[in-house]
Chains A and B, each alone.
Chain A
Amino acid sequence: MERVPILKIGTTLFVSIQIDLQDESVVRLQEDLAEELAATGARGVIIDITAVEIVDSFIGRMLATIGSISRLFDAETVLVGMRPAVAITLTELGLSLRGVRTALNAEKGLALLNSTVNGTA
């Protein structure tokens, strides 16, 4: 089973999903993130899905769940780099992922996190 690495830079956790994840890995990611959040007190999570070609309802729900879990740890999650085809498909599926913030790329995602943390957003 593939484990997605979690990078910590400052007060932000970075996750970059590079491969076609099977369900077990997805669940594992959720667990690992929860642990990292608890252990590090990070204030932000950036999940980069630029390389992800398919987001189905299972993965979609996982992403939404990660958002909820982060909030319990007083952290914000930003989902970045969603591909147009994936966004259109998710919308058709009826998943709007409200509750997870989104940005076009990691840079914008970070800017979003910083503005939130500093209270200017």
Chain B
Amino acid sequence: MQGNYLPMDVDSSQGRMGAYMRDHQDKVVGRWTELVVTGLRGRSSAVEVRREFDDLYSLVIRVMSGADEQAAGELRAVLAELSRSRARNGFSPRETALAVFALKDAVYELVTDATDLVPEYLVFSRIMDDLGLHTFEIYAAAREQIIADQAAAMLELSTPVIRLWEGIIAVPLVGTLDSARTQLVMEKLLETLVATGAEHAVLDITGVPTVDTEVAQHLLKTVSAVRLLGAECIISGIRPQVAQTIVALGIEFGDIATKATLADALLHALNRTGYQVGKA
């Protein structure tokens, strides 16, 4: 795992800090818990927090004693997990980083009277600051991932492939057609072609607000891909303003069939499949 390592300036002289902290574990963790629970405004029970913190505290002491090389990595890992969990459960960034910074406060209160421990406290403080930043980074990354997952889910939902008729499928495109959307449309469309053996695919762009050169390129790409699987594309839903824009921009749809409505496209595809539509 990449990342910065803890500033391990901790040597045997720092051992005193570690020992001091160990001797006053109960008092410090108690104060630490108190500070955090107040900050979390009742969203976590004191018992839960105390249990988490007793474990964390032991890890911190191991790091401060300087002898245990793995302790630093373990501490970062535990904090990362804590951070991710907070992010997933909707805690704010401040509430999440609070865990680390509150320990600084609790330890500071402990050493206020022990002036000979000031240099060690400074080292401890720097280590805590680094951990606080680390906690925040993990939190931010976790939140970004949640947003990305939600966006992907939304994209997936808004791109249905419909079976209009035997051998004819359609994709109603709603909203802007960007790169990501196009990729998804192509994947789903092609998979459906393979699954159904359809030879006609209708791309309905009624719901696409603007068709500029970029959107046109995306459409052309999709048509190209569909053709490689032996099917033909029809683009439907061309609104009057869109038609004018397309011509004004000089976009050529060449030999791709384009229709005003989905109904027209369906009729076109049916005719090409050998059906004749008439009233009974």
Contact = CB atoms under 8 A, between A and B. Distances in A.
Interface of A: 79-80, 82, 84, 86-88, 90-92, 96-97, 101-105, 108-109, 112
B261 interface: no
Interface string B152-185: 0000000000000000000000000000000100
B228 A102 contact: yes
Nearest to A107: B197
A114 to B, nearest CB: 15
Contacts of A88: 183, 186-187, 190, 225
B187 A102 contact: no
A84 B194 contact: yes
Nearest to A102: B230
A92 to B, nearest CB: 8
A48 B241 CA distance: 43
Interface centre among A88, A105, A109 (most CB of B within 10 A): A88
Nearest to B196: A104
A87 B190 CA distance: 9
Contact of B227 (A84, A96, A108, A109): A96
A73 to B, nearest CB: 23
Contacts of B228: 79, 82, 86-87, 90-91, 96-97, 102
A104 B194 contact: yes
A108 to B, nearest CB: 6
Given A97-B228, A103-B230, A84 B197 contact: no
Contacts of A84: 186-187, 190-191, 193-194, 225, 229
B41 to A, nearest CB: 50
Given A82-B228, A84-B229, A97-B228, A108 B197 contact: yes
A87 B194 CA distance: 12
A62 to B, nearest CB: 15
19 contacts: A79-B228, A80-B230, A82-B228, A84-B193, A84-B225, A87-B229, A88-B225, A90-B225, A90-B228, A91-B186, A91-B221, A92-B221, A96-B224, A104-B193, A104-B229, A104-B230, A104-B231, A105-B197, A108-B197
A80 B231 CA distance: 11
A79 B230 CA distance: 8
Interface centre among A82, A84, A101, A102 (most CB of B within 10 A): A84
A76 B229 CA distance: 17
A104 B201 CA distance: 13
A54 B259 CA distance: 35
A92 B225 CA distance: 9
Contacts of B191: 84
A102 B231 CA distance: 8
Interface centre among B194, B199, B227, B230 (most CB of A within 10 A): B230
Interface string B202-234: 000000000000000000010011011111000
B201 to A, nearest CB: 12
Contacts of A105: 197
A108 B230 CA distance: 9
Contacts of B225: 84, 87-88, 90-91
Nearest to B222: A91
A101 to B, nearest CB: 8
Contacts of A97: 228
Nearest to A86: B228
